[in-house]
Amino acid sequence: MFFQKKNEMLTCKKEKHQWVNFELKAYPHKQKKAEEFIENLMPEIDEFLQTVSVLKDENITLSFVDDRADDEISDYTGEFFGRMVPQDSGASYFYKTRANNSRVIVNLYNTASIVHEFGHILDVHSDGDDKSIRWSERDDFKPILEEYRARLNEYQAPEWYKKYCSEPTEVFARLFQEYHKDLFSENDLTEMWSYEVGEIVAAELYKDKYQEITAYFDIHLPEVYAQSERYRIVEKLIEDMKRMEMEEALIK
Ligand SMILES: [Zn+2]
């Protein structure tokens, strides 16, 4: 007989979903609820994955973790990330950038962070001559970055938080969230669970410098959307073929 540790999270779903390796981790007694929750979100996740399908050649694992504060302290975090993840934070991380084995880990109930984390991955997926420089670290992002920093400084917030929010890639990811929200309007992936100073400044800046910021993303992401369009067409063809095959099989 094998007894599981009381508060051990288990992987209850692991599948190749669209082009990401998708996994769900939850405590045994919450597994069913977690599965249902994620099932309901799938259409929105699928839609989002199609928009960022330029990343589909990278090996991305998208993990949903049911890790809410009302749970007992999980020993999952330390073991998995090798770094502390605050409880109830809607933690999401990605690492191993520059393709291959990126991992996006989001709190199951803070799905808006999917968009944020993929924003980071897009940031390092920069094109051009020098691929070692993120989009957010290039000259054409500087005016936006400087404006964000200036506005952030007008707010009261702990220094460490301001420092973190001022990182070019953080500014990029937060503005990408705004841009994405603009494209898809309110849904579960755009509705943010925690809306702090960093997000407030991003939203204000996006509104005030709308032309400039949308133009920036429009210029840098056309490849993303072009490929996602192609991807949709291919998906549709495969779907049609499968249907025709099934219909044929039924006729026989
Ligand atoms: Zn971030």
Distance (Å) from CA 203 to ligand 1 centroid: 15
| Residue that has been written with the tokens 């990811």 in this structure | 173
Distance (Å) from CA 136 to ligand 1 centroid: 12
Distance (Å) from CA 237 to ligand 1 centroid: 36
Distance (Å) from CA 250 to ligand 1 centroid: 50
SS3 (DSSP) at 60: strand
Q: Give the residue-averaged pLDDT of 59-80.
A: 55
Distance (Å) from CA 238 to ligand 1 centroid: 35
Whether residue 50 contacts residue 232, with contact meaning beta carbons closer than 8 Å, is answered with: yes
Distance (Å) from CA 28 to ligand 1 centroid: 29
Distance (Å) from CA 12 to ligand 1 centroid: 27
Whether residue 170 contacts residue 141, with contact meaning beta carbons closer than 8 Å, is answered with: no
pLDDT tens per residue across span 103-119: 787 878 777 888 888 88
CA 152 to chain centre: 23
pLDDT tens per residue across span 159-180: 988 998 999 989 999 999 998 8
Distance (Å) from CA 124 to ligand 1 centroid: 13
Distance (Å) from CA 5 to ligand 1 centroid: 32
Please report which confidence band the pLDDT of residue 130 belongs to, taking 50, 70 and 90 as the band edges.
Answer: low
Computed over every residue of the chain, the mean pLDDT equals: 76
d(CA 49, CA 43): 10
Q: Give the residue-averaged pLDDT of 75-99.
A: 40
- Residue 98: half-sphere exposure toward Cβ, Cα within 13 Å: 5
Q: Give the residue-averaged pLDDT of 24-49.
A: 88
Q: Tokens in use for 13?
A: 């779903």
Distance (Å) from CA 94 to ligand 1 centroid: 9
Distance (Å) from CA 220 to ligand 1 centroid: 19
Q: How far is CA 210 from CA 39, 95, 207, 215, 226, in A?
A: 34, 30, 5, 8, 22
Order of strands across the sheet with 60-65?
10-17, 20-26, 60-65, 102-107, 92-93
Longest CA–CA span in the chain (Å) reads 72
Instruction: Name which of 1-15, 84-98, 185-199 the model is least confident about.
Output: 84-98
Q: Tokens in use for 193?
A: 């669970």
HEC readout, 15-43: EEECCEEEEEEECHHHHHHHHHHHHHHHH
